[in-house]
């Protein structure tokens, strides 16, 4: 069954400069040269995305590529110059200010790189804050906030002030605060980039654990491809305001649309990106416990290399759909990184 589309953007433009809107109205599909000649900056150019319900959709790009601007257009924190943003079929760009306030209060959650916790409030009070804004009774808000604080692993630190918490713990408070209203759609703009590598990895694990329980629709910005590989269902690569390619991490590695996309993946260990299904051989030959087709090669490499015979590969329903042997894994681990489906 095709997943329901939760969030779409159609022909989204964000142009900065004098008379940008009039320029776009007169030139509905301007080229980069047209934009430059008009003295206008094309922060986001003709963006088109469909994000499925429950999907983790990651937007990547170098600084200045337009990724943060696009997310702010999707959440209407800034006004696009043109286009449509459809949330559950409703165009956010035509919503009234009051309608937008209600959507943000009840259906959207946002987490940013800088935690923006209120320093005079405890962790629990920070998490309660969105419910306070909604005028939820204090007793009810506290019960709900305590549940979310426990969910993100901060039980016992409810009465700590932000200055008494580590960076990772502060980020957990920010995540809990964004989740307490039970949003349908969750925006995260480089939420872990300010953390040291060990804490960052722990927060990624925590994020995946939460998503396994909550099944949110997530739009996540990062400039770290390894982080994107760990978290994403699909990735959009942006450059100069354009979306260059949208694909799964594996598809980006195997079939980059441009040299620019290929450069993004060039130094990433293929074993961390490629799945067993991407390098398996066809047929049903194999012995032993089946290996899931969605498993990363890096996670199962040791057991496959140690096996005396090829291992069967199964789909999500447990049906055998192929096999994988040590030679295929060795090519990924030690070869030049060129892989294709059907390696034998």
More confident residue, 56 or 285: 56
Nearest residue to 173 (alpha-carbon basis) of 184, 186, 188, 162 = 162
Mean pLDDT of 40-61: 95
Residue pLDDT, tens place only, 193-230: 777 788 788 888 888 988 888 899 999 999 888 899 88
Burial code (b: 16+ CB inside 10 Å, e: under 16) for 160-181 equals: bebeebeebbbbbbbbbbbbbb
Residue pLDDT, tens place only, 118-130: 999 999 999 999 9
As a whole number of Å, the CA-based R_g of the chain is 23
Residue 170: φ, ψ to 5°: -65, -40
Distance CA 241, CA 305 (A): 44
pLDDT confidence of residue 344 = 32
The lowest-confidence range among 48-62, 182-196, 288-302 is: 182-196
Nearest residue to 93 (alpha-carbon basis) of 165, 175, 157, 7 = 7
Angle, vertex CA 13, rays to CA 255 and CA 95, nearest 5: 120
Residue 102: φ, ψ to 5°: -65, -40
Give the burial class of 85: count Cβ atoms within 10 A of its Cβ; 0-12 exposed, 13-18 middle, 19 or more buried: buried
All structural domains of the chain = 5-107+183-265 (3.40.50.300), 270-334 (3.10.580.10)
Mean pLDDT of the chain: 89
Task: State percent of the chain over pLDDT 90.
Answer: 54
Distance CA 258, CA 220 (A): 23
Distance CA 106, CA 221 (A): 22
- Contact partners, residue 246, CB within 8 Å, separation at least 6: 49, 234, 235, 236, 237
Q: How confident is the model at residue 30 (pLDDT cuts 50, 70, 90)?
A: very high
Residue pLDDT, tens place only, 77-119: 999 999 999 999 889 999 988 898 888 888 988 887 776 889 9
pLDDT confidence of residue 340 = 38
Residue 151 and residue 170 in contact, taking contact as beta carbons nearer than 8 Å:
no
pLDDT confidence of residue 1 = 67
pLDDT confidence of residue 55 = 96
* DSSP calls for 2-51: PPPEEEEEEEEEEEESTTHHHHHHH-SS--HHHHHHTT-EEEEEEEEEEE
The lowest-confidence range among 57-61, 73-77, 223-227 is: 223-227
Residue pLDDT, tens place only, 138-178: 999 999 999 989 888 889 999 999 999 988 889 889 888 98
Residue pLDDT, tens place only, 11-27: 999 999 988 999 999 99
Residues in the chain: 344
The count of other CB atoms within 10 Å of the CB of residue 16 is 11
Chain-centroid distance, C-alpha 316: 22
pLDDT confidence of residue 338 = 44
pLDDT reading at 343 higher than 50: no
């Amino acid at each position: 069954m095709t997943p329901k589309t939760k969030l779409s953007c159609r022909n989204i433009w964000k142009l900065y400069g004098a008379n940008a809107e009039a320029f776009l109205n007169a030139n509905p599909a301007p080229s980069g040269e047209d934009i430059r000649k008009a003295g206008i900056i094309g922060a986001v150019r003709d963006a088109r995305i469909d994000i499925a319900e429950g999907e983790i959709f990651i937007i990547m790009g170098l600084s200045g590529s337009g990724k943060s601007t696009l997310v702010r257009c999707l959440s209407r924190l800034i006004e696009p110059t043109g286009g449509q943003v459809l949330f559950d079929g409703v165009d956010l760009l035509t919503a009234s200010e009051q309608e937008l306030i209600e959507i943000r209060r009840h259906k959207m959650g946002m987490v940013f790189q800088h935690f923006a916790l209120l320093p005079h409030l405890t962790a629990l009070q920070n998490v309660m804050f969105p419910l306070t804004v909604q005028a939820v009774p204090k007793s009810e808000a506290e019960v709900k906030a305590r549940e979310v604080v426990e969910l993100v692993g901060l039980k016992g630190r409810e009465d700590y002030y932000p200055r008494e918490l580590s960076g990772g713990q502060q980020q957990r408070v920010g995540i809990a605060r964004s989740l307490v209203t039970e949003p349908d759609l969750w925006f995260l703009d480089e939420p872990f980039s300010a953390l040291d590598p060990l804490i960052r990895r722990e927060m990624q694990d925590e994020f995946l654990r939460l998503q396994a329980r909550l099944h949110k629709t997530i739009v996540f910005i990062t400039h770290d491809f390894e982080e994107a590989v760990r978290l994403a269902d699909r990735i959009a690569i942006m450059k100069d305001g354009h979306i260059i390619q949208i694909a799964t991490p594996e598809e980006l590695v195997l079939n980059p649309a441009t040299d620019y996309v290929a450069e993004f993946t060039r130094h990433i260990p293929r074993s961390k990106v490629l799945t067993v299904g991407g390098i398996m051989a066809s047929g049903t030959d194999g012995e032993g416990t089946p290996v899931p087709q969605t498993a990363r090669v890096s996670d199962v490499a040791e057991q496959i290399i140690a096996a005396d015979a090829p291992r069967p590969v199964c789909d999500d329903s447990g049906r055998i759909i192929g096999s994988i042997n040590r030679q295929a894994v060795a090519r990924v681990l030690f070869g030049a990184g060129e892989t294709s489906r059907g390696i034998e």
